Structure 1
Amino acid sequence: MKKTILAATVALTTAFGAQAIEVHNPDTAFLDQVGAVGITQANWESGQSAKLTLKHAYKFTHYVELSKGEFTHDIGVAQGFDLKGPLAYDLDGLHDMETVLRDRLNTESIVMLKDGQLVDEFYWSGMHKDHTHLMMSVTKSFTALTLQTLVEEGKVDVNKLISDYLPELKDSGFGDATVQEMLDMRSGVKIEFTPGKIWDERMTHVQEWNGVNNYSELKSILDFGATLGKRTDVNTGEAFDYQCAHTEMLGMLIARVTGMTAAEAMEERLWKRVGFENNAKLQSNHNGEAVMSGGLNATTRDAAIMMDVLVNGGKNRAGEQIVSPEYISNLMVGNDEVKSAWKHDGFSQLHADAWYKDQFRVLNVDGHSFILMVGIHGQVIVGEPSTGKVIAMTGAQDQMQAPRTVGMTMLSVIPTLLKSM
């Protein structure tokens, strides 16, 4: 079947100001093509189809394109790295890193940088250097960095309540949480899971992640957030509870403060400044309200370039300060609140010396202290500020976040690669 790209787009004026945003429709030709083998808008993100769909995710939904700026970070040519050399663990013993990544973890790409320059890159399963991949919850860290630029300009105070900026949330489970507690996912909000899922389907419906929104009373993700209640087993700020709704409310905060959509703010504050090589796609609903917790489709190299800013003291490789070095230092050191909150998360049973802060994880493993952006199905972006090393991986694992693959990646693959680079 001949592939065509749907040319029709919708120009909308946002509810936040006079900014016009171009919203691209789902690719109907692509939907017809994959529909022949049973992949639809309703099931496209399932693990069984991940090797096809995560490389083409934006075609299943509406999306906004983020345009790159004039400066491009030149990562140079590969210096060479032998993936057959380092060894990592699986349940049946040690294997060479190529086998572990490609065959055991369903990794589709890996890019390694040192001091902003390419150590090496590897691609499998149809990926290449200019091919975008759904980053899933890696998107959360990009949203947080967009917000951080507003914090450093004095436009957002993280010690204020989120409801000071979004009064619609005053009577919700988010009502007494500060912006910082939202960033750390310590609000104490209560998410009632839809039977058979680990999320409230109303969120994905209003985002049109799987097609038409069947909850017509919810026009915006902010409407969804306003309906959420409060946990009774923990106090606000006490427990780390990983919920996408936190990030979506932060996206609405960005929109409210800037007077543009969160996607436009991310384009202006990150995509045009950092030095990315390619444009990105950010999935959205038909109104252009982007999925700020998991909708970024970007190249692996550009994900690595974003992390390089964090290992380079907050500067891009043209010398422009994107975020402050103090922000990165505070992230790496953590604090008593986030370290205590980490104990409430299941992963703390696998590794206790870690925390979640500002929509990033920080792990201390085998002498290495590194920053993590993480998304389900194998999206992992690593930065070690003390050495200037960056590792960016995309994957298509059939399970969203299995203990085996998480443990292998965080406790064996990453420290081994950092040591070997």
Structure 2
Amino acid sequence: MMKKTILAAAIAFTTAFGAQAIELHQPDRDYIEASTAVGVSQSNWDAGQSAKLTLKNAYRYTYNLELSKGDFTHDLGKAKGFDLTGVKGHDVDGELPMDVLLRDRLNIESLVLLKDGQLVDEYYWSGMDKDHLHLMMSVTKSFTALTVQTLVQEGKIELNKLISDYLPELKQSGFADATVQEVLDMRSGVKIEFTPGKIWDERMTNVQEWNGVNNYPQLNSILDFAATLGQRSDVQTGEAFDYQCVNTEVLGMLIQRVTGMSAGQAMEERLWKRVGFEHNARLQSNSQGEAVMSGGLNATTRDAAIMMDVLVNGGKNRAGEQILAPEYIDNLMSGNDEVKSAWKHDGFSALLADAWYKDQFRVLNVGEHRYILMVGIHGQVIVGEPATGKVIAMNGAQDEMQAVRTVSMLMLDAVPALLDAIQ
């Protein structure tokens, strides 16, 4: 009976978007039942105290889309060997070997190191292995932005046009005056009223069925939610970097609108089948197949590293196919006056002033290093340094979403130390 239900959902989803071959899976009821018996249910699976269990199994709690890999697979080769213990990092109580710092202090569950597209070494803890999917959280945002970029390169999206030109449903909302580029840069100026006790508006996660049934049935789509939002009165559109997930979700709607297919299907066709990934991925969604484009990607740590390798390799996969324009990466790495000024409005600027957020990526300047970051809460960090061809990918299960201590230890200490040590 369950197989018939899943098949019916997949057929309905395929029909809705016009013969797109992508499968919509239901929540894993057997897994959820077993998990609920020990206190981890659909309603609380994303709580930090359960991260060691749930971030390796996140897609089981929700509807999800399976993104299929393509024929080309990037061969990472065999590990050359790396003395992780010999690299030192720091916590507030002093110097520690890097394996102790990452595994024991920062709750990192996997670490993959690449140089020029080849495996330097990899490490797995807490039940992870090279083939295990892990929730990427907001690393997903960068994958969404890269999908948008492929459409920009084809002339289907113009970055200087208003997002509401593509999505007229937003013309009376806080997004009305924001360009596509400003939405990509989290500079839309949209105002979010936090639900009491949370740092987000629960209406959005309800529409996404992130924790089960949608309790706001009048909102059928993330676009319905976005249309209700107003605009900040303390800053002008484009002025401030303000990290709000709804910006990325609107980009997902943009992808859907200009392609005529689901955003998940577009990500599969434009990234997952082309980059050289080793495994299929799961992209969490609601029951309509509307994907969580700001934080729902479940993928292996190696595949996240392979995606970043495209950025450090001038936009090409290791088969030589140009996935992203070199100019795009150059512009990301150099930033501009708008994003550098906007960065000052974010709290992280107190830790590091010389940085910016552009195109759903962070670029940090730490010592002699300038590197690209895909970042997700609870310890998801994918790093690329184009100047050296180095990539660091790690997935974590931190009990806090984003603490000053763990952020500064990872971004400003551990990452530069690892970049220095990779040969």
Normalised-by-shorter TM-score class:
over 0.9
CA distance in 1, matches of 2:16, 2:171: 20
Counterparts of residues 314-393 of structure 1 (less than 5 Å) = 314-393=315-394
Does the 8 Å CA contact 2:68/2:268 hold for their aligned counterparts? Answer: yes
Q: Could you tell me which amino acid in structure 1 is paired with residue 345 of structure 2? A: H
CA distance in 2, matches of 1:235, 1:15: 38
- Please give the secondary structure, in 2, of the residue aligned with 1:111: strand
Counterparts of residues 76-225 of structure 1 (less than 5 Å) = 76-225=77-226
CA distance in 2, matches of 1:188, 1:288: 28
Q: In 2 relative to 1, CA 282–70 (structure 1 residues): closer, same or farther, beyond 3 Å?
A: same
User: 1:13 Cα shift?
Assistant: 4.0
In structure 2, the residue matched to 1:50 is: 51
Runs ≥4 residues deviating over 2 A: 5-8, 13-22
User: 1:19 Cα shift?
Assistant: 3.1
CA distance in 2, matches of 1:72, 1:61: 28
CA distance in 2, matches of 1:128, 1:410: 24
Does the 8 Å CA contact 1:371/1:383 hold for their aligned counterparts? Answer: yes
Counterparts of residues 256-267 of structure 1 (less than 5 Å) = 256-267=257-268
Does the 8 Å CA contact 2:240/2:342 hold for their aligned counterparts? Answer: yes
User: 1:23 Cα shift?
Assistant: 1.3
CA distance in 1, matches of 2:407, 2:90: 12
CA distance in 1, matches of 2:268, 2:62: 19
Structure 2, unmatched stretches of 5+, are none
Does the 8 Å CA contact 2:22/2:66 hold for their aligned counterparts? Answer: no
Is 1:293 matched with 2:294? yes
In structure 2, the residue matched to 1:398 is: 399
User: 1:56 Cα shift?
Assistant: 0.2
CA distance in 2, matches of 1:300, 1:21: 22
1:286-344 CA deviation, whole Å, 9 max, x = no partner?
A: 00000000000000000000000000000000000000110000000000000000000
Does the 8 Å CA contact 1:129/1:299 hold for their aligned counterparts? Answer: yes
Q: Could you tell me which amino acid in structure 1 is paired with residue 322 of structure 2? A: Q
CA distance in 2, matches of 1:48, 1:345: 27
CA distance in 2, matches of 1:123, 1:13: 37
1:369-407 CA deviation, whole Å, 9 max, x = no partner?
A: 000000000000000000000000000000000000000
In structure 2, the residue matched to 1:420 is: 421
Q: TM-score, normalised by structure 1?
A: 0.98
Q: In 2 relative to 1, CA 82–187 (structure 1 residues): closer, same or farther, beyond 3 Å?
A: same
In structure 2, the residue matched to 1:284 is: 285
CA distance in 2, matches of 1:104, 1:205: 33
In structure 1, the residue matched to 2:253 is: 252
Counting matched residue pairs gives: 417
User: 1:22 Cα shift?
Assistant: 2.5
User: 1:16 Cα shift?
Assistant: 4.9
Q: Could you tell me which amino acid in structure 2 is paired with residue 64 of structure 1? A: L
Structure 1, unmatched stretches of 5+, are none
User: 1:119 Cα shift?
Assistant: 0.2
CA root-mean-square deviation: 1.0
CA distance in 1, matches of 2:299, 2:278: 10
CA distance in 1, matches of 2:5, 2:107: 35
- Please give the secondary structure, in 1, of the residue aligned with 2:279: coil
Q: TM-score, normalised by structure 2?
A: 0.97
1:19-62 CA deviation, whole Å, 9 max, x = no partner?
A: 36421110011011111110000000111000000000000000
CA distance in 1, matches of 2:21, 2:125: 38
User: 1:8 Cα shift?
Assistant: 3.9
